[in-house]
Amino acid sequence: MIVLRQAEVYAPQFAGRQDILIAGGEIVKMAEHLDCGQVEEIDASGKIAVPGLIDQHIHITGGGGEGSFHTKTPEVQLSSLIEGGITTLVGLLGTDGFSRSVENLVSKAKALKEEGLSVYCLTGSYSYPSVTLTGDVKKDILFIDEVIGVKLALADHRSSNVTLDELIRLASDARVAGMLSGKAGIVTLHMGDDPQGLNKVFDAIKQTAIPAKVFHPTHVTRNPVLFEQALDFLELGGWIDLTAGSRKEKSCGDYIEAAKQRGLDTRRITVSSDGQGSWSTYDARGNLTQIGVSSVKALHEQLVRMVKENEFDLAEALSYVTSNPADALQLSRKGRLQEGMDADIVLLDKDLAIDTVIARGQLMMKDKQLRVRGTYE
């Protein structure tokens, strides 16, 4: 058992100064003062206790490859996730669903779970028909514990250019499989630069009874037209995901401000890192001009920017990387500091630097020093 003493708690809403008792991987008790007997005590006075960050878009087995084999990015390391304050994540594939597989993805998810984190994943990749483990998207979601949805690229030159009927069928399969398995059953849409943008998604919603919440478009700040479509989609009741490192000159907070100006519900906006994925740029003829690797630490960096540059209240900034993604992914024990929730807790310094990380009740980092590393780190 562990007790955090006198932390300034943001749950993510401000909850005052409290002691937090952790046992059996969950938050057992929170109060102004707890008499706990013989437990490990951590002095959290002067620290801010927040929920562990949730990153719903990480290429845990690596991504990239658009510039041939030598441009494939490496898989994620446990230590990078801990140092980024990430305690819950969703792994997925990217352009390359051929030399990388759903089998690799699920295996890596299981490995990170064994090392102490909470890990989920998506079947599929950019392409259609979807690459799967069982041979069927529905069965992957139904019978593989870690799989909570499917991924697809839309309006991108690397996509399979699905038809409207194909998109509807995929969303229907994910929706039903999610209902039957008690999971989110989402379709995460990698959005590209094609002018059609979200048009097929709007058509699917108009022509069927599929709820908007099934579709989760990401990278929606890629261009101004796409972002305006994303705001229209948000207005329909959908979720949109902002990529933390996609536009370094602007923070995610700048785009959230635009949503506020339209009077939209920002509780359905999330932020993710695209960690270990490749960022790439192309010329007018479609030739690759630049490629690099995205960092999982971009999620925490955006949290800090939203507070310091956009002057968001910490509680609001936290919601985009904790409670909002927990709700979007239907992870009922994640994203909040409350009794009975999983003990995923990050202690921040007053300048919002990460000091201590606890995942599922296990102390992973303390006083900025890693306590746990990956098996081969």
Residue found by looking up tokens 């819950």 in the block? 88
Residue 355 catalytic? no
Alpha carbon distance 227, 189 (integer Å): 14
CB contact set of 32 (below 8 Å; sequence gap of 6+): 16, 17, 18, 19
Tracing tokens 């999983």 back to the chain, one arrives at 342
How many angstroms separate the CA atoms of 58 and 47, rounded? 28
Burial 97-108 (b: 16+ CB within 10 A, else e): beebbbebbbeb
- For 13, other C-beta atoms within 10 Å of its C-beta total 15
The H or E element spanning position 299 is helix 298-308
SS3 state at 358: strand
Per the CB < 8 A criterion, the answer to whether 178 and 148 are in contact is yes
Please tell me whether the peptide bond between 12 and the residue prior to it is cis, using omega within 30 degrees of 0: yes
- Are 329 and 321 spatial neighbours (Cβ–Cβ below 8 Å)? no
Task: Out of 55, 140, 274, 355, pick the active-site residue.
Answer: 274
**Alpha carbon of 104 to those of 75, 107, 293, 338, 349: distances in Å?**
11, 5, 20, 34, 37
| Two structure tokens written together for 299 | 């999620």
List active site positions. Answer: 274
